[in-house]
Amino acid sequence: MFVRHMTAADIDRVYEIACGSLEETYLREIFLLFINAWPAGQLVAVNAFGNVAGFISGAKLASGKASVQLLAVEQRYRRMGAGSRLLEELKFRASMEGICILQLEVREENADVVSFYRKRGFLPAERLESFYNNGGCALRMMCSVRGNS
Ligand SMILES: CC(C)(COP(=O)(O)OP(=O)(O)OC[C@H]1O[C@@H](n2cnc3c(N)ncnc32)[C@H](O)[C@@H]1OP(=O)(O)O)[C@@H](O)C(=O)NCCC(=O)NCCS
């Protein structure tokens, strides 16, 4: 599994993974907006056969921060390290652009994913009530991207 930039040609596949893996609904067009806004922050994980297994979409925020907007790996490719590789590569690319903090929001009740991020250096910073369309709460988590493995 290796990680490379997401291009416009990947969008159909990325959208398919997003629809199959994420609970919220997204427009396909969002990925082109992400690519145009921050090309280096859009990455895909590709297996040895060239198949896109997962993706990460980052966005630059104000004051030296960036966010993980979306991260998903297709079910059949999970637990092979793709999600970790995508996160590490986004941290690296963010640090190369002088970004100090990476933040994200995760469903509070999704203990497996909260634990996934904790193990990868993210700490809970804030609880956001009614963050999701169904009224669910989010945990905002933050990670320093300088000197973090
Ligand atoms: C979270 C996600 C991206 C991890 O991708 P991945 O390629 O399986 O990640 P890795 O192989 O690098 O690591 C697997 C780790 O994820 C954990 N994990 C995360 N979510 C999990 C879930 N729903 N079920 C089981 N394990 C999960 C595993 O326990 C494992 O933990 P460990 O290595 O710390 O022991 C993937 O599970 C996914 O796409 N989930 C659905 C979408 C989602 O929840 N995205 C995050 C939204 S904030």
* DSSP states along 52-110: EEEEEEEEE-STTEEEEEEEEE-GGGTTSSHHHHHHHHHHHHHHHTT--EEEEEEETT-
Residue 147 has pLDDT above 60, yes or no: no
- Residue ranges around ligand 1 (CB below 6 Å): 21-22, 54, 71-73, 78-84, 106, 112-113, 116, 119
CATH tag, 2-144: 3.40.630.30
Distance of alpha carbon 29 from alpha carbon 31, whole angstroms = 5
pLDDT band, very low/low/confident/very high, at 63 (cuts 50, 70, 90):
confident
Atom 27 (ligand 1): residue with closest C-alpha? 112
Q: How far is the CA of 125 from the centre of ligand 1 (A)?
A: 20
Q: What is the pLDDT of residues 120-137, one digit of tens each?
A: 999 999 999 999 888 889
Q: What is the pLDDT of residues 88-111, one digit of tens each?
A: 999 999 999 999 999 999 999 999
Residue owning tokens 């067009």 = 29
Atom 25 (ligand 1): residue with closest C-alpha? 112
pLDDT at position 71, please?
98
Q: How far is the CA of 81 from the centre of ligand 1 (A)?
A: 9
* % pLDDT > 70, the chain: 98
Token couple for 19 = 């629809």
Q: How far is the CA of 28 from the centre of ligand 1 (A)?
A: 23
**pTM confidence score:** 0.93
